[in-house]
Amino acid sequence: MNEKSGTQKSLLSYTGKGNHKNRFIDIKRERNKRAKYIVDVPKPFLKWAGGKRQLISQIDEYLPKTFNKYIEPFVGGGAIFFYLLPKQAILIDINKDLINSYNIIKNEVSALIELLKKHKNESEYFHQIRNIDRNPVVYNKWSDIEKASRNIFMNRCCFNGLYRVNSKGQFNVPFGKYKNPNFCDVENLKAVNKALKNVVLVSASFEKCLDFAEKGDFIYFDPPYVPISHSSNFTSYTTGNFSNNDQYRLFEVFKTLDNRGCKVMLSNSYSDFILKIYKNYKINVLQAMRVINSDGTKRGKIREVLITNAY
Ligand SMILES: C[S@@+](CC[C@H](N)C(=O)[O-])C[C@H]1O[C@@H](n2cnc3c(N)ncnc32)[C@H](O)[C@@H]1O
């Protein structure tokens, strides 16, 4: 994809959504001006549960107009990072496989692409690669590039792009049976490589952001959501779950950053629990399309919140 078509494609895919079309198009143009320096416009290289791509046009309205560093402590697939393309960023996630993949794209993208090209979208092969972590002696000998290549391949070829591990930390999502999954998107991987040039990547729990955040920085939190129904309680991005106690710990971090003079934004479900904790902040309501029945076949609109401090 050349520069022009990449820019046009992004513009086309975002215009017309939401009520703030004109402002949104302006921001998009500004972003694409910056994106010129990185040739193609990068997009998330992984499918990620709870990814924010579909909500960008609604979230855009609440983004601060200016900020210093950008910090995202639950980065996942990084939809908002790739939308903003900030000059300076710190991306944090507790998922080590995920942060390793970002690091390898940042530092060794050519070697990674060569390894990705070797994978095959076949059930038996997929399960062979997936089950390598059942043998820690073999898996621990793998290089970080091999691990990143396995992670990206499995993400694109497994069922629904889920990241799910069992209590032993073994990846257990079955083969996705997709016709032509793009597990080696060379152009995007190269664009992501350039976008990550000045980015600090950290595998840690969200509190780590306190080591980096200073007055004027923008911090966006997109944690695992408080469950509001049986079908929405998917929170196992790693072996641990995100409890209500973790939500309270997160609220303490949010408050500390607010007091520090940072610009803070947080997504979560529209639940009494969240509405109560953040009652002294600005609570905005967004509409998301979600699976709404337990067998995963019916989608509908569901409310969620986007909370900010005063900025
Ligand atoms: C809702 S997803 C983020 C999705 C992301 N905004 C996107 O657009 O793809 C939540 C992320 O939080 C991470 N996570 C879970 N517990 C965490 C913790 N204690 N500290 C940091 N990250 C955590 C998960 O690994 C997952 O990537």
pLDDT, one tens digit per residue, over 168-197 is 989 999 999 999 999 999 999 999 999 999
Closest CA to 123 of 149, 146, 157, 100: 157
Expressed in angstroms and rounded, the spacing between residue 5 Cα and the centre of ligand 1 is 31
Domain map of the chain by residue range? Answer: 1-38, 42-94+204-311, 97-189
Pocket of ligand 1 (CB under 6 A): 48, 50-52, 73-74, 76-79, 93-95, 205-206, 222-224, 237-238, 242
The reply to whether CATH 1.10.1060.10 applies to domain 97-189 is no
pLDDT at 83 over 80: yes
Give the containing element (helix H, strand E) for 286.
strand 282-291
What topology is assigned to 42-94+204-311 in CATH? Rossmann fold (3.40.50)
What CA–CA distance (Å, rounded) separates 144 from 207? 25
Q: What would the pLDDT profile of 104-123 be if each residue is shown by its tens digit?
A: 999 999 999 999 999 999 99
Q: Whose CA is nearest to atom 18 of ligand 1?
A: 205
**pLDDT tens digit string along 33-71?**
555 554 579 999 999 988 999 999 999 999 999 999 999
Atom of ligand 1 nearest to the CA of 53: 8
Q: Find the mean pLDDT for residues 289-308.
A: 81
Closest C-alpha to ligand 1, atom 19:
205
Locate the ligand 1 atom nearest the alpha carbon of residue 205 and give its number: 20
- pLDDT top residue among 97 and 32: 97
pLDDT of residue 27: 59
pLDDT at position 271: 95
Residue nearest to atom 11 of ligand 1 (CA): 74
- Sheet containing strand 263-269, edge to edge, reads 199-203, 89-93, 70-72, 218-221, 263-269, 299-308, 282-291
* Nearest residue to 233 via CA among 246, 248, 220, 243: 243
